[in-house]
Amino acid sequence: MVSKLEGKVAIITGASSGIGKATAIALAAEGAKVGTDVLSIQTLGLH
C-alpha cells in the first residue's frame, strides 16, 4: 500500500529534539523525504 506521504518532501526546523525530532522521524517512517535543520548531528544519533 502506498503511503499518502510517499513522494512528498517535508522540511522540519528544530529537529534536534522534542516535537521537531518526533515529527521528522514520524514523517520519514510514513515515506516522506525529510530535510532537517538541527543544532548538532550528534543529537540526532546519526553520527
Burial class for 16, CB neighbours closer than 10 Å (0-12, 13-18, 19+): middle
pLDDT at position 6:
93
| The three cell numbers locating residue 28 | 520519514
Helix (H, G, I), strand (E, B) or coil at 40: coil
pLDDT at position 1:
64
pLDDT tens for residues 1-47? 678 999 999 999 988 889 998 999 999 999 999 998 877 666 666 55
> Phi and psi of 26, rounded to 5°?
-65, -45
- Beta strand segments in the chain, E: 9-13, 33-37
Entry pTM? 0.74
pLDDT at position 45:
65
Cα angle, residue 23 at apex, residues 2 and 16 outer, rounded to 5°: 135
